[in-house]
Chain A
Amino acid sequence: MTSATPTVSTDEPLELRTRHRLTAPMRDGWTIGKRNLRHFTRLPRLLVFSTIQPVMFVLLFGYVFDGAVSGSLPPGFPNYLAFVLPGIFIQSTIFRMTQTAVGLAEDLERGVVDRFRSLPMSRAGVLIGRTFADLVRSMAVILLMVAIGLLVGFRFGNGPLEAVGSVLVVGVFGYALSWAFVSIALLVPGAESTQSAAFVLAFPLSFVSSVFVPTESVSIGWLAFIARNSPTTAAADAARGLAVSGPVAEPVVQMFLWSIVFLVVFIPISVNRFRRLD
């Protein structure tokens, strides 16, 4: 190149990082993740979805439903808020992950993903960045909900380690689940259909579970069976046991097993599908 090419050429030679096959997905994921986190602060829709809605949920369940349900609570829970808040951590995380699907589907429609796919970057990087950013946002929202909960009378029943553990349980489960929603975005064409499909998954997943009521109170046999054995119940019981009261070891193990199953099933499906997007 000569001095007659001032726009295209570079003043000084550009230095390139060395790149390793194994770390490239994480590096590229970090770059894309930063981009997605910036989006959260710049899209009003996402800010509302991530802050106002969870606050409303805490207040709604803490006050409105308290009287109706508190009679059928298991021992160890002074009020419905104590029972339901850890459940709402899980439930709201599931619904927040529908935004993972919608956000990715919108990127696909906009052509930004095409540019990413034409770059010499890791294929998995775009998806890792998306799930990573959604995990960060999810954790921030859970902390916000904890703060609101503490303001309206929620108290952790165990030590600080268990309290931190309950929040981590939500993070692990939410992250694993976000890959299921990534798969949906890649399998269902169009952002609007993706949103519908994501809600079809999110509703039964969050409500047929121990999130709002103990599974013993479900009267239909087969539904009770599903509720007892759903991944959401495992996650909600684990978070609840750590945060307030109830068994810990069994639901935590189940929650981890479910999370591993989600990751093992949906990461290959998603990455493979992303490679072959048409």
Chain B
Amino acid sequence: MPSHDPSPGAPAISVRGLAKHYGPTRALDDVDLEVKPGGVVGLLGPNGAGKTTLVRVLATLLSPTHGVAEIFGIDVVRRPAEVRDLISLTGQYAAVDELLTGRENLLMFAELLHLTPSSARRRADELLERFDLTEAANRRAGTYSGGMRRRLDLASSIILPPRLLFLDEPTTGLDPRTRNQMWDVIRELVAADTTLLLTTQYLEEADQLADRILVIDNGRIIADGSGDALKDAAGGITVEVLLAPGADIDAACQQLRESGLQATSVRGAQVDLEVPTDADGGLATVREVAAALETRGIGVRDMGLRRASLDEVFLQLTGEPTDHAGDEEVAR
């Protein structure tokens, strides 16, 4: 356990006017951020948006150009050694050693965390067993599959459960079993009072794991809220209609507009036209669209209310599409 208690009541992360400039490039551009202790915060953004720079500053690996960053009230620039007692890094921020075996990796990190030799051995065995790595314990980590490597990585970052854990795309590209296992560990960490900062470029991952999502782009935080709040704020709700085969989509739109409904043709695979609405009037709009189409004898195959996806939110916020979650993980 960390050898000293951080300031009571201090936020897990507090960042004020934080900037990191590389020449004219502003990797971080005056970021303000406060994260309460406990729970999972998702830091979402495309590659090069500033996620990594922010995490590296918070993890004392990089000094900011200006601004203040504190972890549980401790300044990362002035008291980095104390910050390192509270944090742990995983994923692209910190690799496991591929030439060492799984057990050797855990023993090395346990030794560097000052565990006594007997404690280190016991903890290594315990973690190997719990992460399903006992059989592979004496094989080099370089021979591990992606999922095994991810488990070893996470195991080595919780040898001493940290107060704040930086997770990098922990479930992307994993098979369902390993993914569930990672989710379990993340829930356990949260239950054990660890704060998690999850960085990802995959919307689905952030949506599923994080209670609060920060969208970062061009070194700035451009949105902050729950996944639901972001979806509501960005696109609202639409009524989607798929017409019967052979129906004239433009004529249908025209007739709906004559009934006072703002229909536009979409011509998607499962949608022919959509009508915007809002959270309160959703059902009323469905009723009006249905009535208008029925009185004019236009056949309908499918119709429903749909909230904007996070993809659309993201597109709207950053002006660029992201890779879809569930794609094969990009090889590093």
Q: Do A and B bind each other?
A: yes
Known: A8-B185, A112-B97. A119 touches B192 (CB 8 A): no
Chain A proximity of B159: nearest CB distance (Å) = 8
Known: A15-B119, A38-B99. A115 touches B130 (CB 8 A): no
Known: A6-B188, A110-B95, A117-B61. A31 touches B108 (CB 8 A): yes
Contact A114 B94 (CB under 8 A): yes
- Complex alpha-carbon distance, A217 and B94, angstroms: 53
Chain A proximity of B1: nearest CB distance (Å) = 8
Chain A proximity of B81: nearest CB distance (Å) = 6
**Which secondary structure dominates where chain A touches chain B?**
loop
Contact residue among A10, A12, A111 (Cβ-Cβ distance under 8 Å from B92): A111
Q: Find residues 110-134 in chain A having any chain B CB closer than 8 Å to their own CB.
A: 110-112, 114-121, 125
Contact A15 B116 (CB under 8 A): yes
In this complex, the member of A16, A28, A38, A118 whose beta carbon has the largest number of chain B beta carbons within 10 angstroms is A118
The range of chain A's interface size is 35 or more
Contact B123 A10 (CB under 8 A): yes
- Complex alpha-carbon distance, A39 and B98, angstroms: 10
Q: Find residues 206-247 in chain A having any chain B CB closer than 8 Å to their own CB.
A: none
Complex interface bits, A155-172 against B, C-beta within 8 A gives 1, otherwise 0: 000000000000000000
Known: A17-B114, A17-B115, A277-B61. A35 touches B95 (CB 8 A): no
Chain A proximity of B153: nearest CB distance (Å) = 9
Give the tally of cross-chain contacts (CB within 8 A): 112
Chain B proximity of A13: nearest CB distance (Å) = 9
Instruction: Report if B87 contacts A (CB, 8 A).
Output: yes
Known: A8-B158, A111-B94, A112-B95. A118 touches B89 (CB 8 A): yes
Contact A121 B191 (CB under 8 A): no
Tell me the B residues contacting A by CB distance below 8 Å.
1, 3, 56, 59-63, 81, 84-85, 87-89, 92-97, 99-100, 104, 108-109, 111-116, 118-119, 122-123, 126, 130-131, 140, 158, 160-161, 184-185, 188-189, 191-192, 194
